[in-house]
Amino acid sequence: MADRSRKANLDDRRRKQSAEQNSNLKSLIRQFCLDRGADLVGFAPVERWDEAGEVPPDFRPRAIWPPARTIIVMGMEMPLPIVETTPSILHKELYDTSNRELDQLAYNLTRYLNRMGHASFFFPRDGYGSLKALRENNLAAFSHVMAGKYAGLGTIGASHNLLTPEFGPRVRLVSVFTSASLPPDPTIAEELCIQCAACARCCPKKAISMRKDRLIADYDKTACLEMHEELTARRCYPCGICSKVCPVGQDRLLYKQKGIVNKYLREAEALAKNPDDPEYKSWSHLRKYGISKPKNTKD
């Protein structure tokens, strides 16, 4: 009897020690990411994919890499004033820079964890090599958006983007898979999407169609891909207008851009009537240089 109670005490102490070590490791990882430029960091146990059942089995972390126990998702801000200029050379350069930074961060975190004895693996921020590859099969092998949701960074909006409290959808993501079992972050229970339909109304390809019966809109991937093909030809990808116009995100307070959605909603029509419309002059100016003009544009 005394032996059994001693063993139970020992097991309990070991469990507490292990929980403490995992919590310390989580703090170290968070700090590592923040020190190297991440704006957001979240931790998702791989079981969340199975519990939610939203992601097809082959696309879940354990199917991709069986030793995975935790997915660490990192996000970097896409500053709103640059996103507002899309399509522009500024926006393209921001996209390329954030991609490089995210991949570098994920690569460094993977090696940091490996050095500590926690086998790790990372999935780069984009899961495709070319738009031709997307034409053939318009799907990534792993979704950072769903990983972001399960790691508590945000909720999925009508536009299919991850909406975060900090930056709305103006954030880029990357994920590290690790064999370490780390304490999970809570998911966000309340939907952040207010179903304002600005994303659907401003999409130049009408790729987003709001639905009455559910929050997530219908999304025409091929129409969106066409937009990316056009912009890639002009060297000013990606589109990102649905990210620009989304009213969600505290970044709007910082940039004093709350309540600007009506300006976005009027933009396409106003510029079609008058490309020099003074209300949009600064964005039009930045779109005029460094990229080629759309087809059918008169000089």
The smaller minimum CB distance to ligand SF4, of residues 106 and 199, is found at: 199
Shortest Å, Cβ 133 to ligand SF4:
17
Shortest Å, Cβ 221 to ligand SF4:
9
Q: Which residue is nearest to ligand SF4 (CB)?
A: 157
CA distance 156 to 67: 27
The smaller minimum CB distance to ligand SF4, of residues 90 and 106, is found at: 90
Preceding amide of 238 cis, omega within 30 = yes
Shortest Å, Cβ 190 to ligand SF4:
13
Residue with tokens 């079992």: 181
The smaller minimum CB distance to ligand SF4, of residues 67 and 127, is found at: 127
The smaller minimum CB distance to ligand SF4, of residues 184 and 247, is found at: 247
CA distance 268 to 71: 40
Tokens of 79: 């500053």
The smaller minimum CB distance to ligand SF4, of residues 83 and 198, is found at: 198
Instruction: Please check whether residue 173 is in contact with residue 126, taking contact to mean a CB–CB distance below 8 angstroms.
Output: no
CB neighbour list of residue 129: distance below 8 Å, 6 or more residues apart = none
Shortest Å, Cβ 166 to ligand SF4:
14
Instruction: Please check whether residue 184 is in contact with residue 45, taking contact to mean a CB–CB distance below 8 angstroms.
Output: yes
- In whole angstroms, how far apart are CA 153 and each of 148, 219, 247? 5, 22, 17
Shortest Å, Cβ 22 to ligand SF4:
35
**Interaction site with ligand SF4 (CB under 6 A):** 157-159, 193-199, 203-205, 207-208, 224, 227, 239-242, 245-248
